[in-house]
A and B are shown apart, each in its own frame.
Chain A
Amino acid sequence: MPMFLTDEQVMLADTARPFLADTAPVAHRRALRDADDERGYAPDLWRRFAEMGFTGIVADEADGGLGLGHVEAGIVLEEIGRNLTPSPFLSTAVGAVTALKGASEPLRRRHLPAILAGESIAAIAIDEAARHRPHHVGLRAERSGNGFRLSGTKRFVPFGHVADLLIVAARTSGAPDDVDGITLFAVPGDAATASPRRLADASLAARLDFADVQVDGDAVIGEVDGGRGPLDALLTVLRTGAASEMLGLANGAADMTMAYLRDRKQFGQAIGSFQVLQHRAAHLYCELEVARAAVLKAQQLLDQGAEAADRAATVAKGMVGFASLLAVQEGVQMHGGIGMTDEYDIGFYMKRQRVLAELYGDSDFHADRLARLSGY
């Protein structure tokens, strides 16, 4: 597979780009924040996503989806990132739909149609501590009657307070850091008590408390105690997706900054004519293109079903973390004083970058992970 978009993928990008730019630009995020919106997204917009088929973008055609891949999902995510659109697309249309591919037929039929119709959104509950440590699973799921009783806490769950469906990593045996004994569950959103926290970027992420909540035995995705594989596969998809969104964010910030370099005049000339800024801008552009290639590599490997996708997703999330951090730092610095104002959009990019960087592991996490995968 050559490393550029096919004609069909370019067409999808040509559809997604104006759609997001018109319906959900940064002003949309700003408006939700200013209105103290408590949902964290706009249901009207989500229904438009469903009408466009985006909710089922990676769902199999047999299940009523578009049957497309992670390159295509990444195209939508890139535009979401470029516009800082608050959207449950990553957790629902990418994360939950992927997790449900490993679920039983009845479980899929229970949840997928509502997701595809835009009537249901999902949240992914993995992390329990302040730093991403996905294999540290302490939330217990004890056998009870026909099902399980869940008790424990999940943190940093975007859309966890409004989700109709929660994908939860729980421990069915062993100790919190054991490789075996993890099980993935698909449970109703009201199974947990959700406390939403507003984050620096005005998005909402929930703390979820499960207090001896009874769930059905058929809520298990895959095998009991065999959740490590499905969890890792889900993380690969989520990391690649978050990297795609951050890539869009970084390019959005860089585009704003380049435009400012061309327009802003000091000393009687455009500041972009100064070589000191040109070189920094060119360096930033190179970093973004390296990151773009790393993201596309992970997406393509995922779509080929290649084992190497796991490693490539770590490279992608780590690299786009470096590049997007540079993009927002240079963005604010090159804008000068107005870059510090709330009125100007570049600060929104900086705050959102920090949140997306943390999601599913930042660059430090992924550099460490790459070293472990490489045997050092």
Chain B
Amino acid sequence: MSDDLTAFRAETRAWLEAHCPAEMREPVRSDKDVCWGGRKARFSSVAQKQWLDIMGARGWTVPDWPARYGGGGLSPDQAKIVRQEMADLGCRTPLHSFGISMLGPALLRYGTEEQKLEHLPRIARGEIRWCQGYSEPNAGSDLASLATRAEDKGDHFLVNGQKVWTSYADQADWIFCLVRTDPTNKHRGISFLLFDMDSPGVSTRPILLISGYSPFCETFFDNVKVPKDQLVGEINRGWDVAKYLLGHEREMISGMGTQGGAISLSKIALANLGAEADGRLADPILRARIAQFDLRAEAFRAMSERFLDELKAGKAHPAQPSMMKYTGTELNKQRYELAMAAGGSAALEWDSDESRQGAAARAWLRTKANSIEGGTSEIQLNIIAKRILALPGA
């Protein structure tokens, strides 16, 4: 068994070394370096597209999904080796995708065979880019109070309402969307629909954020017709699908900044401050803060690995994603505060070419959303207090 894995590791490494373009082994420096795929995909280089195509064809954008759904068909141990070797070689993630990190796991669990065969391979190859229709103007932390209506019109649902904070809705091809199908029952009156963003009646409006970018949109539905077979799971039981998917979303957000290509605070600080004769960073207070952060970040990575191993073995507590989300996002905010301190005035530049159009400052501001999106830190703490600690009235 372990001999097989050793051989698999060697093969994986050799294959990655042979097929991963050199450019795709450089650290991610800005949003442009991140590949999202989809019908409107904009590749920043030939190598970026090559890397997506090669990995998509092999199923290694989703190494542990079944091969018939476009995945690599690997065992958990093998998939872990692929991730480890990619991290070790500095290979960029070939495809960032809400289809992979959120919808896919939910479809694998709740989708019909037809839905899986239609959507999963396109997700794996990066052909369809998905967005998430969850939050509404009056349904944020209290998500289950959502009001976007889907009326049963016989052969289709008629959807009317508004979503907000829809990440990249203006660039997405399809949406997975929570809609109200029974106004008399809060949690058991929600359904989970999939539909094409090109459907008549769908419109989006980007929201300008403090980073100066507009990754989020308002999304409006005006008499949108959605075929009945695009319902995932049972009617009025979409909250189960939504919660299951939220667990995966929280894991994805908790991993932001900790995966391959994460910034090194000490490198930034050494470049700006220099070192003492014995090699220590010249600012002892900043050095201490970075060291304490790095220690916590390494410990957090151990927890990520542990929870993933437990998840694959069916030993995970259902509230573990809340712990990952809370801990990981609070750490990531700290990381970028330290990055700003280490970067000094250079990190403040907003639009110069040297700063790659303010990449550092904008990334710093972007992280402030981490502890809000996908359920705030406070909501995660509520969940932990209730589901793990069983505190009274929680």
Binding site for B on A (CB under 8 A): 2-4, 258, 261-262, 269-270, 272-273, 275, 277-279, 281-283, 285-286, 289-294, 296-297, 311-312, 314-316, 318-319, 322, 363-364, 366-368, 370-372, 374-376
Contacts and interface: CB of A to CB of B under 8 A. Distances in A.
Interface in B127-168: none
B290 A273 contact: no
B290 A371 contact: yes
Contacts of B388: 282, 285
Contacts of A269: 392-393
Given A275-B394, A312-B298, A376-B281, 11 more contacts: A2-B312, A262-B391, A278-B382, A283-B326, A289-B323, A293-B302, A312-B302, A316-B299, A368-B291, A371-B266, A371-B290
Interface in B258-291: 266, 269-270, 275, 279-281, 287-288, 290-291
Contacts of B299: 290-291, 293-294, 315-316, 318-319
Contacts of B392: 262, 269-270, 272-273
B327 interface: yes
List of 5 A-B pairs having minimum Cβ-Cβ separation, nearest first: A273-B393, A294-B299, A293-B303, A278-B385, A3-B306
B385 A318 contact: no
B3 to A, nearest CB: 15
Interface residues on B, range: 35 or more
B381 interface: yes
| A interface: dominant SS | helix
B11 interface: no
Interface in B363-394: 378, 380-382, 384-385, 388-394
Nearest to B312: A2
Contact of B288 (A262, A294, A367): A367
B391 A272 contact: yes
Given A4-B309, A272-B391, A371-B266, A290 B292 contact: no
B391 A322 contact: no
B266 A285 contact: no
Given A273-B391, A367-B295, A3 B382 contact: no
Q: Which of B300, B381, B385, B390 has the most CB of A within 10 A?
A: B385
Given A4-B315, A293-B299, A315-B299, A261 B391 contact: yes
Interface string B71-109: 000000000000000000000000000000000000000
Nearest to B297: A315
Q: Which of B290, B295, B327, B384 has the most CB of A within 10 A?
A: B295
B1 interface: no
Contacts of B298: 294, 311-312, 315, 370
Q: Which of A282, A285, A290, A293 has the most CB of B within 10 A?
A: A282
B282 to A, nearest CB: 10
Given A291-B299, A315-B295, A366-B295, A376 B391 contact: no
A374 B380 CA distance: 33
Contacts of B394: 272-273, 275, 278
Contacts of A3: 302, 305-306, 309-310
Contacts of A291: 299
Contacts of A371: 266, 280-281, 287, 290-291, 294
A263 to B, nearest CB: 10
B46 interface: no
B294 A374 contact: yes
Contacts of B326: 282-283, 286
25 contacts: A4-B315, A261-B391, A262-B392, A272-B393, A273-B392, A273-B394, A277-B391, A278-B381, A279-B385, A283-B326, A285-B388, A292-B306, A294-B298, A314-B295, A363-B292, A367-B292, A367-B295, A368-B291, A371-B280, A371-B281, A371-B287, A371-B294, A375-B279, A376-B275, A376-B291
Nearest to B264: A374
B299 to A, nearest CB: 4
B19 interface: no
A290 B296 contact: yes
Contacts of B309: 2-4
B279 A281 contact: no
Contacts of A363: 292, 295
B210 interface: no
A262 B391 CA distance: 6
A2 B75 CA distance: 13
Contacts of B294: 367, 370-371, 374
A52 to B, nearest CB: 27
B255 to A, nearest CB: 15
A376 B269 contact: yes
Given A4-B313, A293-B306, A376-B279, A279 B378 contact: yes
B266 A376 contact: yes
Given A270-B393, A278-B391, A289 B303 contact: yes
A269 B394 CA distance: 12
B379 to A, nearest CB: 11
Contacts of B303: 289-290, 292-294
B371 to A, nearest CB: 13
A375 B266 contact: yes
Contacts of B295: 314-315, 318-319, 363, 366-367, 370
A375 B279 CA distance: 7
Contacts of A319: 295-296, 299
Given A279-B381, A371-B266, A376-B275, A285 B389 contact: yes
Contacts of A372: 279-280
A326 to B, nearest CB: 12
Contacts of A272: 391-394
Contacts of A366: 295
Contacts of A322: 296
A346 to B, nearest CB: 17
Contacts of B287: 371, 376
B313 to A, nearest CB: 6
A376 B283 CA distance: 10
Nearest to B292: A367
A322 B299 CA distance: 11
A282 B389 contact: yes
